[in-house]
Amino acid sequence: MSYKIYVPCDTTAVSIGADKVATAISQQAQAQGLAIELVRNGSRGLFWLEPMVEVETAQGRVAYGPVRMSDVASLFEAQFLEAGDHPLKLGLTEEIPFLKQQERLTFARVGVIDPLSVSDYAAHGGWAGLRNALTLTQADIVSAVTVSGLRGRGGAAFPAGIKWQTVLTAQGEQKYIVCNADEGDSGTFSDRMLMEGDPFCLIEGMIIAGVAVGATQGYIYLRSEYPRAFTTLKTAIANAKAAGFLGANILNSGKAFELEVRLGAGAYICGEETSLLESLEGKRGQVRAKPPLPAIQGLFGKPTVVNNVITLASVPVILAKGAAFYANYGMGRSRGTLAFQLAGNIKHGGLVEKAFGLSLQALLNDFGGGSRSGKPIRTVQVGGPLGAYVPAEQFHLPLDYEAFAKEEFMIGHGGVVAFDDSVNMAQMAQFAMEFCVEESCGKCTPCRIGSVRGVEVIERIRQGENRAANVELLKDLCDTMINGSLCAMGGMTPFPVLSALKYFPTDFGLNAAPKV
Amino acid sequence: MNTTLEALIQAHRDQAGALLPILHAIQNQLGYVPAEATPLIAKSLNLSRAEVHGVISFYHHFRTTPPGKHTLQICRAESCQSMGSRDLEAHAKAALGIDYHQTTTDGAISLEPVYCLGNCACSPAVRVGDEVQGRMDAAHLDALIAELRQGGVA
Ligand SMILES: Cc1cc2nc3c(=O)[nH]c(=O)nc-3n(C[C@H](O)[C@H](O)[C@H](O)COP(=O)(O)O)c2cc1C
Ligand code: SF4
Ligand code: FES
Ligand code: FES
pLDDT digits (tens, 9 = 90+) for B121-142: 999 999 999 999 999 999 999 9
Gap from CA of A269 to ligand 2 centroid (Å) = 8
Q: Is residue B36 part of a domain?
A: yes
Cβ-contact A214, B146 below 8 angstroms: no
Q: Does residue B127 share a domain with residue B80?
A: yes
Are residue B51 and residue B105 in the same domain, yes or no? no
Residues A83 and A55 sit within 8 Å (Cβ to Cβ): yes
**Residue among A182, A284, A433, A443 to mutate when testing ligand 2 (max atoms within 8 A of CB):** A443
The domains of chain A are located at 3-96, 118-326, 329-420, 425-508
Look at residue B144 and tell me if it is in a domain. Answer: yes
List, as ranges, residues 202-241 from A with C-beta within 8 Å of B: 224-228
One-letter amino acid identity for A386? L
Other beta carbons less than 10 A from residue A110's beta carbon: 28
Cβ–Cβ gap B120/A183 under 8 Å: no
Same domain, B49 and B74: no
B144 and B94 together in one domain? yes
Phi/psi of residue B29, nearest 5 degrees: -80, -45
Mark whether B74 and B128 lie in a shared domain: yes
Largest Cα span, chain A: 76
A185 CA: nearest ligand 1 atom = 8
Q: Quick one: fold of A329-420?
A: Ubiquitin-like (UB roll) (3.10.20)
Q: Which of A150, A197, A187 is nearest to A308 (CA)?
A: A150
Q: Report whether residue A489 contacts ligand 2, using a CB cutoff of 6 Å.
A: yes
Is the CB of residue A375 less than 8 Å away from at least one CB of chain B?
A: no
* Gap between the Cα atoms of A447 and A459, Å rounded: 18
Q: Which ligand is nearest to the CA of A161?
A: 1
Residue B65 lies in a domain: no
Query: Taking a C-beta distance cutoff of 8 angstroms, is the pair A177, A206 a contact?
Result: yes
A280/B116 touch (CB, cutoff 8 Å), yes or no: no
Q: Give the span between the Cα atoms of A224 and A226, in whole angstroms.
A: 5
- What one-character DSSP code corresponds to residue B132? E
User: Model-level pTM?
Assistant: 0.97
Kindly state whether residues B49 and B79 are assigned to the same domain. no
Of B33, B29, B22, residue with least CA distance to B57: B33
B7 and B40 share a domain?
Answer: yes
Structural domains counted in chain B: 2
Do the domain assignments include residue B154? no
Same domain assignment for residues B119 and B78: yes
Q: What is the pLDDT of residues A138-187, one digit of tens each?
A: 999 999 999 999 999 999 999 999 999 999 999 999 999 999 999 999 99
Mutate which: A417, A420, A428, A430, vs B, most B CBs within 10 A: A417
Q: pLDDT in tens for each of the 516 residues of chain A?
A: 799 999 999 999 999 999 999 999 999 999 999 999 999 999 999 999 999 999 999 999 999 999 999 999 999 999 999 999 999 999 999 999 999 999 999 999 999 999 999 999 999 999 999 999 999 999 999 999 999 999 999 999 999 999 999 999 999 999 999 999 999 999 999 999 999 999 999 999 999 999 999 999 999 999 999 999 999 999 999 999 999 999 999 999 999 999 999 999 999 999 999 999 999 999 999 999 999 999 999 999 999 999 999 999 999 999 999 999 999 999 999 999 999 999 999 999 999 999 999 999 999 999 999 999 999 999 999 999 999 999 999 999 999 999 999 999 999 999 999 999 999 999 999 999 999 999 999 999 999 999 999 999 999 999 999 999 999 999 999 999 999 999 999 999 999 999 999 999 999 999 877 765
Phi, psi of B123 (to 5 degrees): -70, 155
Question: Does any domain span residue B63?
Answer: no
Residues in Cβ contact with A212 at an 8 Å cutoff, skipping those fewer than 6 apart: A133, A138, A141, A142, A145, A164, A168
Please give the number of the atom of ligand 3 that sits closest to the Cα of A486. 2
Regarding whether B83 and B53 lie in a shared domain, the answer is no
Contact A195, A325 (CB under 8 A): no
Measured from the Cβ of residue A321, the count of other Cβ atoms closer than 10 Å reads 17
Which residue from B minimizes the CA distance to A226? B117
In CATH, the number for domain A425-508 is: 1.20.1440.230
Residue in A closest to B77 by C-alpha: A186
Do B80 and B51 sit in the same domain of this protein?
no
The answer for A 260-299 residues in CB contact with B (under 8 A) is 262-268, 279-286
Q: Do B52 and B96 share a domain, yes or no?
A: no
Considering only alpha carbons, which residue of chain B is nearest residue A432? B78
In a domain, B92, yes or no: yes
Can you identify the CATH homologous superfamily of domain A118-326? NADH-ubiquinone oxidoreductase 51kDa subunit (3.40.50.11540)
Question: Same domain for B106 and B140?
Answer: yes
Give the span between the Cα atoms of A248 and A135, in whole angstroms.
Answer: 18
CATH for the stretch A3-96: 3.40.30.10
Q: Rg of chain A's alpha carbons, rounded to an integer?
A: 24
What single-letter DSSP state applies at residue A159? B
For B131, the domain range is 70-149
